[in-house]
Amino acid sequence: MTRAEPRWVLSRPRRTPAVTRTYCFPHSGGSPGEYLRWGARLRDHDIRAVQLPGRGSRLGEEPFTRMGALVEAVIGHLALDTPYVLFGHSLGALVAYETARSLRAWGLPGPDALVLSGTAAPHALPPRPSLNGLDGPELLAEIERLYGPVPATLHEDPELSTLLLGGLRADLEIVSGYRPVMSEPLSCPITVLGGRDDDEPLDGLGAWRAYTSGAFDLRLFPGDHFYFRESPDEFFDHLDAVLTRTAAPDLHRHGPVGPVASVSRAVAG
């Protein structure tokens, strides 16, 4: 595994060691900025936001449109310091799972836990149509029909919309073209989180239970697909407890993970 490149991982400086190191994968069209802000609420944890091509400071780079190629790039460019946790929301949850599965297949150290949010297990996903042929306004309308409202600025600022829709369109191509490969369950614990008012069916969230031989936990919060924006206190309290519980055995063996040097710094190898 190569040393991580600075553009792939963003983090904020720490003055004290952290209990856990958690790599966070964004939802379709999402950017790492939201995860960076989580660090203020999860002060005991080293929150590292994965920045994929086609968003943020990498907006000019060609985004991935296939899950396999994306996961291969993630594993090739992120030096995943052990022990660590992978968190992902929506598309990010699928990327986190496929990353863990591929790490195991390649004989590389996997995560101590997965925290998967806002999506059904791979085999329970409903089919998603390709939206690649739609123009900007049509694409926005279909996204809102399928996934809920987008930020108003995307409707009000055509130039910004054009910039951002390229990455979002590519992400949606990943979703529509995703064909999961069934394999043996992972051994790490899996925690699944979701919103009570989300369209994601409870059975689909619960279906993640079959993907681990370890501990499994499912927790629903008030709110829709982005429940963590609607119920932040309840969400962050629970996530803090999940991460701390996950790290408990490793604290005895490894000690706390070290501080991060600066924002946008590469992950230490």
3-state class of 174 per DSSP? Answer: helix
Which residue's structure tokens are 């379709």?
28
Active site residue 31: no
Do 98 and 107 meet the contact criterion of CB atoms below 8 Å apart? no
- Considering the candidates 225, 252, 262, 264, report the single residue annotated as catalytic: 225
Dist. CA 139–CA 248, nearest whole Å: 45
Which residue's structure tokens are 């408990």?
248
Active site residue 77: no
Query: Which residues lie closer than 8 Å to 234 by C-beta, 6 or more apart?
Result: 221, 222
- Considering the candidates 11, 31, 90, 117, report the single residue annotated as catalytic: 90
Q: Which two tokens stand for residue 93?
A: 């949850």
* Residue among 78, 70, 71, 76 at smallest CA distance from 99: 71
Distance of CA 154 to the CA centre of its chain: 22
Do 75 and 81 meet the contact criterion of CB atoms below 8 Å apart? no
| End-to-end alpha carbon distance in the chain | 9
Question: Which residue numbers are catalytic?
Answer: 90, 225
